[in-house]
Structure 1
């Protein structure tokens, strides 16, 4: 069982329908998160995207949707093309006051190769905190 998890929680001043769309509609995802050719909220759907620090190595992320509960939960596997290890990204949504609480959990990070500095947990913490607390917040609350 994985011991290294990144957990990021935030309550947004946005309804749950909008937050769900931001997580699942490719044109909206592109505005705050990732650019994918296609994205479907269907278990077994495979998608990939390239990402990495600007000016450094770019990583091909290979993902498979594993669980979908509309407007409540989205989970997908996450690995890197050509490297060992498998992790999972989980978005849990719930209504809170007049907004939406999002809890992101990225588990299995310790399955990635430990000799690659870019795959250290602090990079995942930094990336997810930036995405949720800055990019997604700005997108949803503009």
Structure 2
């Protein structure tokens, strides 16, 4: 069988919003561990510096301890934050199945403000269908939270 036929299909989540804020306001919200704890989950060890490894803790399932292991792959102030997002366990199916994905948050100028585009890619079908379904809805709320926090007075 060829390598192409052996590869699994993957899916990605895309959320694209325009906020009436300067890129600097959105970046501050994205790149602060304290603020990240308000719009996503409280990170342990996060710094917006390439190579930084950090974690999130969520509900464990089966053989998975609930830890999401991340690494900053790219951090360009006022432009983008990209990090690996890995969790789950090979022995789990559904919630808590092995997950090896990437989250990309990109800021760009837009009429009336700044566009924030999130792409969470690498969901393997069918293994990650459960995570893909729940996170598809979850990221929409997360991105709205980023906009709300960025709009708060300093």
**Same structural fold, with TM-score higher than 0.5 when normalized by the shorter chain:** yes
Match of 2:123 in 1: 109
Moved over 4 A (4+): none
Two-structure CA RMSD over aligned residues (Å): 2.3
CA distance in 1, matches of 2:69, 2:125: 15
Number of equivalences? 135
Unaligned runs of 5+ in 2: 1-6, 91-97
CA distance in 1, matches of 2:126, 2:47: 26
Aligned-partner SS, 2:124 = helix
Match of 1:125 among 136, 145, 149: 136
TM-score by length of 2: 0.76
Unaligned runs of 5+ in 1: none
Report the Cα offset of residue 15 of structure 1: 0.9
For the pair shown, the structure with the greater C-alpha radius of gyration is 2
Q: Give 1:126-141 correspondences, 5 Å limit.
A: 126-133=137-144, 135-141=145-151
Match of 2:4 in 1: none
Match of 2:99 in 1: 85
